[in-house]
Amino acid sequence: MLPVVKWLLGWLTGDLAGALTKAYQAKLDAQNEEQRVIADAAIEQLKAQVQAQANAKEIRLATAGFWEMRLITAVIAGCFSLHLLLVTLDTCFVLGWGIPKYPAPFDEWQGTILLSFFGVQVAGQSITAIASAIRGRR
């Protein structure tokens, strides 16, 4: 039962706690001052990510009760999701609709906006943090 809970918490939090633990372990295992500085930098970066997640959660909780925020979010997500769906259908089934891309800068932001609604961006940031911690450890 405990491994399932640990896996679930790791999946929900993007395993920042595990990355932070690994960074502290790297600091303890560091053999010279340069490695300690690299480990300290990785720890500070992970702490900043944890704080950013906490701040984002506070904002979500503070605005969750307002129907206006839910409406705005639904409209924004709906537009981008509908556009993605139509482009996908037109591309896969060659329907000839010719759906145009969004104007700049929305064409570059569409993927980021959609991923942010589903929390995938947090996982990507966690992977980047872990990779940078490993890279700094070498």
Residue with tokens 């990779």: 131
For 25-50, how does the pLDDT look when each residue is reduced to its tens digit (9 = 90+)?
Answer: 777 776 777 777 887 888 888 888 88
Residues 6+ apart with CB under 8 A from 75: none
- Single-letter amino acid code for the residue at 67: W
pLDDT bracket for residue 8 (50, 70, 90)? low
> What is the pTM (predicted TM-score) of this model?
0.40
- Alpha carbon distances (Å) from 54 to 46, 47, 51, 74, 130: 12, 11, 5, 23, 19
- How many domains are contained in the chain? 1
Check pLDDT > 80 for residue 116: no
Residue span of the structural domain in which 122 resides: 2-137
For 55-103, how does the pLDDT look when each residue is reduced to its tens digit (9 = 90+)?
Answer: 888 887 777 777 887 788 788 888 888 988 998 899 899 888 888 888 8
